[in-house]
Amino acid sequence: MVLLDTNIDRKEIIMSITIKDIAKIAGVSHSTVSRALNDSNLINEETKKRILDIANQLNYSPNTSARNLVLSKSYNIGVFFSSIHYGTSPYFFHNVIRTINEKMNDKYNIIVNGIDIYTQKHQSINPKNFDGIIVVSQRKQDDIFIKEVLEKKIPIVVLNREIKEFQINNIFSNEAEGVYKGINYLIERGHENIAVIEGREDFESTKVRRSAYLKAFREKNIKINQEYILKGDYGIESGYKAGKKIISLSKKISALFAFNDDMAIGAMKAFSEEGLKIPEDISILGFDGSISSKYTNPSLTTIKRPIQDICSYGVEILIDIIENKNNKLNKKCFETCIIERNSVLESIK
């Protein structure tokens, strides 16, 4: 360890110390000091430790803006949702941001935005502003934004929606299989008059989940009654309104499948207000596995997609690309599962 002259005024040192000063004390070049401060593996550990000891004794504080300029790094990671206002449930939004923040390296800042807001302002992605971008995609229209990021050569990972048009790092869940199993779960318990609350039409998840439940209905020879298919927007209020419509149907519905837990919870409130008991009068199945689904009365049976695992894996890939220049493409599909609780009657037969 290098010992410093204790007669030196520390305030003066803190105000005036530079990399060149540390280099002079350590007897190395200023580029070696810069590498040591940035934890480069291009210098040996003994030299690195000696330089860091000197910097610590001097209370050296780097000029972040200058460092960023020299290293051509912003230390910003952009997290872009298709929309953060319309159709993105509070649970989904909060869970994604919390998981990414917990998994992200402390030296990176997270900047959250909606692709719809970004494009409405006719903004263009500036590579100087982002070291990497995570797109939490829900719409096919996001491909325009994704293509621009790729063209700007900004490291990118797309979560939530399967991308087939580009060779890209892509992490998502098998929603179709989850919905298919969920509908069969209801059918196996004797339900045939099943209502469905769908989501926003411009979200790919709506199309995927619709195709899956229709497939299950056809295979089990269950008649598809359009009166039982209601439109929602993934918001809890749309589930409540759909629930009111279900109550007014001429034929009794034995079960409801909502495209997400928020709409299922909204429908549960509508049923409760009309004096309907769950699951005795109507069974309810949700989708997402949100934390709130555990605390409804009764607790909500739901199809869980592992959004935390998806986000964690996506962050790992992005950091690996940024810091290790790993250009290997990674595409991974996580499986969903049914969480059985108390909102589905065991059997109506």
Span 280-329, pLDDT tens digits = 999 999 999 999 999 999 999 999 999 999 999 999 999 999 998 888 99
In degrees, rounded to 5, the angle at the alpha carbon of residue 106 between the alpha carbons of residues 103 and 108 is 95
Question: For residue range 179-210, what is the model confidence (pLDDT) as tens digits?
Answer: 999 999 999 999 999 999 999 999 999 999 99
- The whole-number average pLDDT for the span 53-57 is 85
Considering the entire predicted model, what is its pTM?
A: 0.78
Q: Is the pLDDT assigned to residue 11 strictly greater than 70?
A: no
Structure tokens at 236: 């809890």
CA-nearest of 159, 103, 131 to 331 is: 159
> Within a 10 A sphere around the Cβ of 70, how many other Cβ atoms?
11
Domains assigned to the chain: 10-71 (1.10.260.40), 76-173+307-334 (3.40.50.2300), 175-305 (3.40.50.2300)
**pLDDT score of 54:** 87
Average pLDDT of every residue of the chain? 89
User: Which residue bears the tokens 């719809």?
Assistant: 116
Pairing outcome for strands 229-231 and 255-258: unpaired
